Structure 1
Amino acid sequence: MKKKVIVGIVSILVLVSGGIFYMTHSTLNSHDDVSNVLDEKGVKLYKHGFRLLEEQIATYIKDHYAGVRKIEFSPIFIQGDNKHSMFNANIVPAIYDKHGKKAILGGDIGNTGYENYGLLAGLHLDFNGADKEVIELEVEGQDVDVSGSKHLPNKAKLTSSKKIDENIEALVKDGQLKEVVKNDSGSPKAEVVYNTEIKKGKYWKWR
């Protein structure tokens, strides 16, 4: 009789723990699942396009700013579904100086707002009539086709960027970065952490 009771209790505990795991696992998957917004080809396109955008941003900062220890990127955050709300996708670049400070690009500094990075903000993604990827990066106000590039081609490298320059200057003045200075020596040894994870969420909350 005792054995039956013990077996019954163990069975209940297994069922309960299994149910908790299933509920937690399902909740996480439903939150991070983007299949209702992007199909497999769409996911591949977004990972490819945003990787090139990240490389464009990181290359410019490394080549034109001294005092940078590391550059990293948030996941690719998507919002909306084009059915009930407008679809958009953005990343957040972060800069670490050599004094342990970290600051993000985009968002507000004081009463001034700075541009974000993503769709219609430096990057255009689409498929053409032959269902081939179309990836364009903005360079000095012009869209440059980088669809066939695995890594950032020279034609898509930034030689100037008012958007990034003004943002970094404001971060330094605000004390969020220290001794990050624009000059030709750059920061060639700066570490770069790319991120092509795609998830639903509000990019402006990433830190």
Structure 2
Amino acid sequence: MKKIIIGILSFIVLAGIVIIGGSMYMSHQRKEQLYKHGFQLYEEQIATYIKENYTGVSKIEFSPIFTEGDNKYTIATANVVPVIYDNHGNKAKLGGKIGERVYARYGLLHGISDLDFDGADEEVIYLSDSASGQEIEVSKDKHLPKKAKVQYDTDIDENIDLFVKNKILKDVIKSEQGSPEIKIVYNTEIKEGDYSQWQP
């Protein structure tokens, strides 16, 4: 009788572990999908702004999404690094420190103002509009909607201007002509680590 009871208890404990483990795994998978969706839209916002407002850009490339936290059940921070290539083969990473100036990072709370689930377990994604200071909901959008295009971005503009002045980039000019033939390489791979150490 004791063996039967022990066997039943063992089965219940094992089943509980499997259910809890499965639930945590599914929660982690859903969180990853949320981050991929949010960052895909954010990368489109950045790339669209540069494509439509700068001439002389041949390519924009994005790093993986770098997360820090335990990378299992919580993500403390998440950032991506945009890289601009000019028509002469030069490249420059947006954000970070350039000389004495420190530029904003690109990610949670810096471009993506909200990335979470609501009470009904639905995705909540808000992008920032640095020009207006408004938050734009894009939770249901598969691609960047027109309402989430930004009119100007001071951080990107000043960052690119400094690259040109320091001859890191050549012939990249702010212009309404934009760079319609630009190549854009999006990246929604999620990796753990320090985004500032990534090299294209």
TM over 0.5: yes
Identify the match of residue 83 of structure 2 among 91, 94, 98: 94
Identify the match of residue 117 of structure 1 among 81, 99, 106: 106
**Is the 2:52–2:180 contact (alpha carbons within 8 Å) kept by the matching residues of 1?**
yes
- The answer on 1:185 being equivalent to 2:183 is no
For 1:123-134, list aligned pairs within 5 A.
123=112, 124-134=114-124
Q: Deviation digits for residues 23-43 of structure 1, max 9, x if unmatched?
A: xxxxxxxxxxxx88x701001
Distance between the aligned counterparts of 1:168 and 1:142, measured in 2? 23
By how many angstroms is 1:91 displaced?
0.1
Aligned AA (1:107):
G
Identify the match of residue 157 of structure 1 among 132, 139, 149: 149
Query: Counterpart in 2 of 1:15?
Result: none
Aligned AA (2:108):
L
Aligned AA (1:132):
E
By how many angstroms is 1:82 displaced?
9.2
Q: Deviation digits for residues 39-76 of structure 1, max 9, x if unmatched?
A: 01001000000000000000000000000000010000
Aligned AA (2:187):
N
SS in 2 for 1:94: strand
Identify the match of residue 196 of structure 2 among 178, 183, 204: 204
Give the 3 Å change call, closer, same or farther, for CA 93–100 of structure 1 in structure 2. same
Query: Counterpart in 2 of 1:172?
Result: 164
TM-score normalized with structure 1 length: 0.79
- After the TM superposition, which of the residue ranges 69-78 and 161-170 deviates more from structure 2? 161-170
Distance between the aligned counterparts of 2:71 and 2:38, measured in 1? 20
Distance between the aligned counterparts of 1:161 and 1:107, measured in 2? 16
Identify the match of residue 29 of structure 2 among 32, 40, 48: 40
Identify the match of residue 59 of structure 1 among 30, 48, 59: 48
Aligned AA (2:62):
F
Aligned AA (2:191):
K
Query: Counterpart in 1 of 2:13?
Result: none
**Structure 1 residues without counterparts, runs of 5 or longer:** 1-34
Aligned AA (2:174):
K
Give the 3 Å change call, closer, same or farther, for CA 45–82 of structure 1 in structure 2. closer
Distance between the aligned counterparts of 1:161 and 1:170, measured in 2? 14
Distance between the aligned counterparts of 2:107 and 2:166, measured in 1? 25
TM-score normalized with structure 2 length: 0.82
**Structure 2 residues without counterparts, runs of 5 or longer:** 1-23
**Is the 2:71–2:192 contact (alpha carbons within 8 Å) kept by the matching residues of 1?**
no
By how many angstroms is 1:81 displaced?
3.2
% identity of equivalent residues:
57
Aligned AA (1:103):
A
SS in 2 for 1:78: strand
Q: CA RMSD in A?
A: 1.8
